[in-house]
Amino acid sequence: MESRRGMQRRTYLGLAATGVVGGLAGCSSATDGGGFPPYPDSETIERSGDGTGVSEAFEITGGGPTLIDMVHEGVDNFTVTLDRADSVGEDAAGEDSAGANTTDEEAASTENDTVAGTDTGSDSGNSTGTDNSTGTDTVSAGETDADTASDGPNPVTTVATAVGPYDGRSLQPIETGEYVLRVREADAAWSATVYDLPAYEDGVGATPPIEREGDQYDVLGPVDFGEPSSTEFTFSVSGEGVHRVFLTDREGAESLTVVNIDGEGEETVSQQISGVGYVEILSFGSWSFELSG
């Protein structure tokens, strides 16, 4: 079975804590009747904007994975990355540096003309004083403009990449720290809900059987698999491209590729699993998923 993030194949996962995405059409709720979100003992962060830009910074402190739910209402490319907050400062420093160099060169040119003593009789007031400000729209209060979003440094991870309307969820294994969402491509309004999850204890989450249908990236979990037992994953999909299903541990640190289908198809896989974890579905096809004990 193909591995993800350099993880070796395992039949036992120490998935001891995560919250299940309940309240989703076709997905069973937790055995105690609780639905997620909200995720217990987690922090919820909301960001939104219109078009490209860099979000206001936010802090990740939980010991589990970070779940990011994004919606885009446009029809063109939508690309979002997660960047460290200090990268925004690096962008600004680079722009200031570039501006300073230009000013120095212009100043040197002016000084050389003066030293040469060349008097053309021109009117020194002919300077155009051109204003290069473009007046680009900002995303929202505290956020930077589109130019900064287009040319940022290497991202920590890609959160979303799609064409047209997007309503998907992704699970990100990121370290504690301060981050921003860099919207590199977008042609309409977007919103993001960031769930800073803890590493949940055993017994938290939904229990099989679980069924889910969709046509975007999705995350189910936490799922409480309980004691070691055989668990069956069934995934059916139509549409072009590669479609994958991952099983991720409670901390979001390690994942196993459970299903990998190129194009249309259906696959059923059985695994010995225990503990708590998430199911990640990476597909833009029309898909259905079933998890049974």
Percent helix, strand and coil across the chain, each rounded to 5?
A: 15, 45, 40
Of the candidates 241, 256, 173, 272, the residue with the CA atom closest to the CA atom of residue 2: 256
- Show the CA angle centred on residue 211, arms to residues 205 and 213, nearest 5°: 120
State the pLDDT at residue 64: 93
Strand locations in 77-217 (E): 77-84, 157-163, 166-172, 177-185, 189-196, 210-214
Distance, CA of 263 to CA of 225 (rounded, Å): 29
State the pLDDT at residue 91: 55
Residue ranges and CATH numbers for the domains of the chain are 1-35+199-293 (2.60.120), 43-92+141-196 (2.60.120.1340)
Of the candidates 255, 243, 245, the residue with the CA atom closest to the CA atom of residue 5: 255
Per the listing, tokens 């969709």 go with 214
Per the listing, tokens 């402190």 go with 61
Per-residue pLDDT of the chain (293 residues; tens, 9 = 90+): 333 433 322 223 333 233 322 222 223 333 232 356 778 888 999 999 999 999 999 999 988 999 999 999 999 999 999 999 998 865 544 444 333 343 444 434 444 443 333 333 334 333 333 333 333 222 222 233 333 344 555 689 999 999 999 999 999 999 999 999 999 999 999 999 999 999 999 998 889 999 999 999 999 999 999 999 999 999 999 999 999 999 999 999 899 999 999 999 999 999 999 999 999 999 999 999 999 97
Q: Quick count: other Cβ atoms within 10 Å of Cβ 128?
A: 5
In 3-state terms, what secondary structure has residue 7?
coil
State the pLDDT at residue 134: 31
The model carries a pTM of: 0.69
Per the listing, tokens 């204890």 go with 201
